[in-house]
Structure 1
Amino acid sequence: MGNSHSAGPDLHHHHHHRQPPHHSKAVVRKRSTAFSALTLGCASADFAESECASQDTTAAGTERERDRDRDSSRDEKVSFDPPPLYAYSTVDLLEDSVSAAYKVFLKEHPEYQLTWILDALRRSDFARLDRSGETYVDYMGGSLYPESLIRVHTGFLNRNVLGNTHSVSNASKLSAACAEEARQTVLSFFRAPPGYTVIFTANATGALKLVGESFPFAEGSKYVLGADSHNSVHGIRQFALQRGAEVCYIESTDHGGVDPSDAKAILKQNRPQNNCSAPCLFALTGQSNISNSKNPLSLIQYASSHGYYTLLDAAALAPTSIISLTETPVDAMAISFYKMFGFPTGVGALIVKESVLSRLERPWFAGGTVDVVQAPGTIVTMSADLHERFEDGTINYLNLPAITDGLRFLSAYLPFLPLRLSALLHHLVESLTQLRHDTSGTPIVQILSRTPERHLRAVGEQSDTGSIVALLFLFPSGELMPNTFIEHAAAAHQISLRTGCMCNPGGAAALLGLRDAMAALPPAPTLKEFSREMGRELGVVRISLGLATDFRDVWRVIRWASSLGNERMRSVMWADWLGSKRGEAL
């Protein structure tokens, strides 16, 4: 993980060993200044002028103001006139129903006020949330795009002409220059030392698939992974098995993730022998998308020291955590940009060591990956540039400039996110845990995911978990409320969350206590058959916080969850849900 005292990823770090393509030197991307001053946490020019004007007061006036402040008995600080930007993140901006709860929250979590820059960001770039009344708590499914990023990108597209990077026209040269700039920005953002390159893919799944299909598995190879992983990580086992390799799982703990000592034991037991013809691969999930567990990145160094090639699924980790490839030199890492800053969708990346990339073997070739192809015949000469060998067809050149701007945007706020989300997550978990049914006094929810042990106090500290709550809702009798009902009730209250197994069957089985049932599955079962066998809907309710989350979002979720404990209100929601399912088999 990154230095806890860092101000964010260093986007000015230069990789002197890398030279951009010759044709990119002829084209310089015209930078836009469309990111608002407010977006970057600074006051506007008009505000700066008014602030200077406000300081032009008489000595008598200043003295009177000091006396007024000294005599004030109010708990809150007297506001400046006009107030500085950070002062806007006060209870004065909240409706009365939230204001009292916010004051209590700040007494318990005073460190939250250190993240005022994110309140300013919420007002400048995510005001559509408050205009629409939507409470968005599905950041693990996809982050929300900041409005200024869209303005910057559309402005750039409006001013320029971009062409296919496989051509040599002026438009194509500009596209190639933007693609190279995006690669270098990705490497700098993740603090990659010399020797890494970037392959642009459709998403993190595409990046993981590239490794799986190209890794030289053979008889005697081992593929080691955690049970609490995304299906895209599990899917690599198909390539391993097809080539005669053995798949070795590290069991999930009851709250998800791996136990470090168990992981080390399995890695040591299955470590590669002194035989380069049977390489082994270890895939680590940086953060679970369902259990909220963060796995220690030190396991990557441990596996590497035992001869494994290493792969990090950072799709869930990268949006809210600082990752340094200098400190954790994993062989390959998969990310999705839309999960980090919301736009664009359809672009991910594999950040990979060039030395490892040269050992991967593509099972096919396509446009853009080759230099010479004999047709008919069997001769194929792959592209001289390593990354081009893995970028099938035409890259998403119209959207790559947004990657550069998005990473620079995120770098300004990433240091503040863990502190902010830690305070909100602690409050959310504590509040949900205390909720009770009005008729029975029994709990309304059962929280299954891992809860943080550390309570962050300063900007730059890193959390020991993600910002996810996976839970179940219970009737007064203790029986489970159907997840489909919860999803319907949340949508009716304009709350965007997610239910299900989150494409993570191992993590879901661990949280739900279904590992034995998972092990006893018959061949080719469907989800409906599995659910019928278990006698209930499978999956959890997931609430995930992110870049634009503020206290009001958490407060609204708590208020909505509380309403499910009110017999009368729940009955109305239940009747509405049944009405929406009329004609279906329940």
Structure 2
Amino acid sequence: MGNSHSTTQYPAKPQHSFRRQRSAVFSRISLGCASINSSTSSQDHSQEKETSNLVVHEKSANRGQLTPSLASPSVAYSPSEGISSDAATAYAAFLHEYPEYRSTWILDTLRRTDYARLERTGETYVDFMGGALYPESLIRVHTEFLARNVMGNTHSVSNSSKLSLQCADEARAAVLSFFKAPPEYTVIFTANATAALKLVGESFPFTGGSSYVLGTDSHNSVHGIREYAIYRGARVCYIQSTPNGGFDTSAAKNILLRNRPRARELAPSLFGLTAQSNISNSKNPLSTIEYAASLGYCTLLDAAALAPTSSFSLKEHSVDAMAVSFYKMFGFPTGVGALVVKKSFLAQLKRPWFAGGTVDVVQVPGTIVTRAHEPHEQFEDGTINYLTLPAITDGLQFLSAYLPFLPLRLTSLLHYLINSLSSLRHDTTGQPVVRILSRLPTRRLRSVGDQADTGSMVSLIFLSPTGDMLPNSFIEYSASQQHISLRTGCMCNPGGAAAILGIQEDMQKLYPGVTLKDFENIVGRELGVVRISLGLANNFQDVWKVVRFAALFANGKSRQTLWDRWIESSGVGVGQAI
């Protein structure tokens, strides 16, 4: 599917505190927690041992560190069993070109243990920007926890409710710890990152003198806040995207300066920053947050695309509010996101309604409402998803163990993918098979712990021998037939898509009531790109399969075969490939 726990000992008396204990099955999730330091402190490849068969010993009954035992002598970064000779040869050449990739061997172990279903199903999953894949051990641990315990609605005082409330508090603390948040922050659990952003939009006190500043290369959930701003008479000011996405820092600062709030108390203004684009692969400079704050802006960070593969510290980059989505970080659970927010910022927000769970006293009939005492309770409408919050605590611990290795691993794979795709040529005309539109990494990482200057994805279009764009629907169908999960379209990022596709002028021709089909008629082709996004479970073999798939379009015969199958599947009949 695409887009930790232990038993709980109930107290003898209700007033005793609850303590969640770790079960043995959680040991695999904790593998990296005890081994990161030894893995990152040395480049000695004698350390690169097969760790599939782990002997793990519990340190304590609660959330203590676990000690793994590396038992097998085989090399952890060797290709999977059954790999073809062509792939093995390509892998050897890859390691020769990117020897630093060997330092990420622990993720090959993880692939064989927690993501073995990829080999069983034969699926190549390269849509991590759409949704991460859940580790199997996280599901087992969470299921075992639910099976052994009774959890009730947090709005009660029963034993089952106390356990749920404790798990929610643990999850809140885990989120704050993961993002290194200072004490002034709290966590509001939401349905997803979109709901977290909406909370800010609907509650922010925009007025006629306010400004809402954002980049064109942003997700629709960030764009959507403009509806609240416009409704209350505020200005909406866009920072234009570069041809490769993101924005120019000097241009951004100029827009922020020209629209800065004259009186923050009377006309609060908001700067919404997308930390990493989900279509252009750009990382926007976080220094713009500090600059905007110095001008008097409130600051909102969309970190949904950044958090899965990049370390981020709220201590280093203070922002008023930040939205994240957990299924994009570690695959499970879906339907839970968070707004990590300063309590002082929450005090400025004005909720347009109240609901169950957000209030202490409501006068009925009447107009008197007393909000809940805790700041986060005032913004968590109804009942939180208390059955899945324990998985967030364990999922964050899981991701923490492997996150330091991800930038080095994924940039190595990304460099190989970009170079390989760029070298493909049509057999008849010698023209390129693809055109890469997203931002390319400008530097090569060498060590575990380094941070990349871009994301780990590629947005591109496939070209015919004469240079025309092949339909994205054709590419997506053909990929699915090859058991490759990727994504096509505009990724809910119309501004970023328009920038990298060069159709900003066409965007200006849109009119009220325009449909996607109308827009495609204006530009004369399908809208969007093909997106290949890498993540925690990817290895060299995945990227190699994607390159082999793309190579099918370089050969006239194989391309025509794919085209015929696509046309036949649509019921139109067999035609001539473009």
Counterpart Cα distance in 2 of 1:548 and 1:92: 13
Give the structure 2 partner of residue 187 of structure 1.
176
Give the structure 1 partner of residue 422 of structure 2.
433
Query: Structure 2 vs 1, CA of residues 237 and 37 (structure 1 numbering), >3 Å: closer, same or farther?
Result: closer
Give the structure 1 partner of residue 513 of structure 2.
524
Give the structure 2 partner of residue 134 of structure 1.
123
Give the structure 1 partner of residue 546 of structure 2.
557
Give the structure 2 partner of residue 31 of structure 1.
22
Query: Structure 2 vs 1, CA of residues 35 and 213 (structure 1 numbering), >3 Å: closer, same or farther?
Result: same
| Structure 1 position 469 matched with structure 2 position 469 | no
Note the alpha carbon deviations across 1:50-70, whole angstroms, 9 max, x for none.
xxxxxxxxxxxxxxxxxxxxx
Q: Secondary structure at the match of 1:258?
A: coil
Counterpart Cα distance in 1 of 2:52 and 2:96: 34
**Higher radius of gyration, 1 or 2:** 1
The structural deviation recorded for 1:440 is 1.2
Give the structure 2 partner of residue 197 of structure 1.
186
| Structure 1 position 90 matched with structure 2 position 78 | yes
Give the structure 1 partner of residue 447 of structure 2.
458
Give the structure 2 partner of residue 336 of structure 1.
325
Give the structure 2 partner of residue 232 of structure 1.
221
Contact 1:24 1:173 in 2 (8 A): no
Contact 1:24 1:174 in 2 (8 A): no
Q: Secondary structure at the match of 1:34?
A: helix
Note the alpha carbon deviations across 1:257-286, whole angstroms, 9 max, x for none.
010000001111111103511000000000
Size of the alignment, in residue pairs? 533
| Structure 1 position 170 matched with structure 2 position 159 | yes
Query: Structure 2 vs 1, CA of residues 309 and 524 (structure 1 numbering), >3 Å: closer, same or farther?
Result: same
Contact 1:38 1:44 in 2 (8 A): no
Note the alpha carbon deviations across 1:128-159, whole angstroms, 9 max, x for none.
00111100000000000000100110011011
**Unpaired runs of 5+ in structure 2?**
5-13, 36-49, 57-69
Q: What is the percentage of aligned positions where both structures have the same residue?
A: 65
Give the structure 1 partner of residue 45 of structure 2.
none
The structural deviation recorded for 1:38 is 8.2
Give the structure 1 partner of residue 566 of structure 2.
577
Q: Secondary structure at the match of 1:199?
A: strand
The structural deviation recorded for 1:29 is 1.8
Query: Structure 2 vs 1, CA of residues 37 and 571 (structure 1 numbering), >3 Å: closer, same or farther?
Result: same
Give the structure 2 partner of residue 298 of structure 1.
287
- 2:190 counterpart letter in structure 1: T
Q: Secondary structure at the match of 1:377?
A: coil
Query: Structure 2 vs 1, CA of residues 309 and 100 (structure 1 numbering), >3 Å: closer, same or farther?
Result: same
Give the structure 2 partner of residue 310 of structure 1.
299
Note the alpha carbon deviations across 1:221-267, whole angstroms, 9 max, x for none.
00000000000000000000010100000000000001000000111
Counterpart Cα distance in 2 of 1:316 and 1:371: 36
| Structure 1 position 103 matched with structure 2 position 92 | yes
Q: Secondary structure at the match of 1:164?
A: coil
Q: Secondary structure at the match of 2:563?
A: helix
Counterpart Cα distance in 1 of 2:139 and 2:234: 45
Moved more, 295-304 or 269-278: 269-278
The structural deviation recorded for 1:535 is 1.0
Counterpart Cα distance in 2 of 1:248 and 1:399: 38
- 1:452 counterpart letter in structure 2: P
Contact 1:454 1:464 in 2 (8 A): yes
Give the structure 1 partner of residue 361 of structure 2.
372
Q: Map 1:137-156 onto structure 2 (within 5 A).
A: 137-156=126-145
- 1:29 counterpart letter in structure 2: R
Q: Secondary structure at the match of 1:352?
A: strand
Give the structure 2 partner of residue 479 of structure 1.
468
Query: Structure 2 vs 1, CA of residues 498 and 46 (structure 1 numbering), >3 Å: closer, same or farther?
Result: closer
Query: Structure 2 vs 1, CA of residues 82 and 286 (structure 1 numbering), >3 Å: closer, same or farther?
Result: closer
The structural deviation recorded for 1:335 is 0.2
Q: Secondary structure at the match of 2:432?
A: coil
Note the alpha carbon deviations across 1:503-553, whole angstroms, 9 max, x for none.
000000001101111122122210000101211100000000000000000
Moved more, 193-202 or 273-282: 273-282
- 1:419 counterpart letter in structure 2: L
Counterpart Cα distance in 2 of 1:96 and 1:38: 33
Q: Map 1:233-272 onto structure 2 (within 5 A).
A: 233-272=222-261
Give the structure 2 partner of residue 212 of structure 1.
201
Cα-Cα RMSD: 2.0
Contact 1:39 1:120 in 2 (8 A): no
| Structure 1 position 354 matched with structure 2 position 354 | no
- 1:340 counterpart letter in structure 2: M
Query: Structure 2 vs 1, CA of residues 488 and 379 (structure 1 numbering), >3 Å: closer, same or farther?
Result: same
Contact 1:286 1:297 in 2 (8 A): yes
- 2:100 counterpart letter in structure 1: E
Contact 1:38 1:124 in 2 (8 A): no
Give the structure 2 partner of residue 277 of structure 1.
266
What TM-score does the superposition give when structure 2 sets the normalisation length?
0.90
Contact 2:564 2:574 in 1 (8 A): no
The structural deviation recorded for 1:24 is 9.1
Give the structure 2 partner of residue 63 of structure 1.
none
Counterpart Cα distance in 2 of 1:448 and 1:403: 35
Query: Structure 2 vs 1, CA of residues 585 and 530 (structure 1 numbering), >3 Å: closer, same or farther?
Result: farther
| Structure 1 position 324 matched with structure 2 position 321 | no
The structural deviation recorded for 1:88 is 2.8
The structural deviation recorded for 1:47 is 6.3
Counterpart Cα distance in 2 of 1:303 and 1:388: 29
Counterpart Cα distance in 2 of 1:555 and 1:39: 30
| Pairing partner for 2:31 from 40, 46, 63 | 40
Counterpart Cα distance in 1 of 2:540 and 2:462: 22
The structural deviation recorded for 1:33 is 3.0
- 1:484 counterpart letter in structure 2: S
Query: Structure 2 vs 1, CA of residues 270 and 439 (structure 1 numbering), >3 Å: closer, same or farther?
Result: same
Counterpart Cα distance in 1 of 2:196 and 2:574: 40
Query: Structure 2 vs 1, CA of residues 183 and 275 (structure 1 numbering), >3 Å: closer, same or farther?
Result: closer
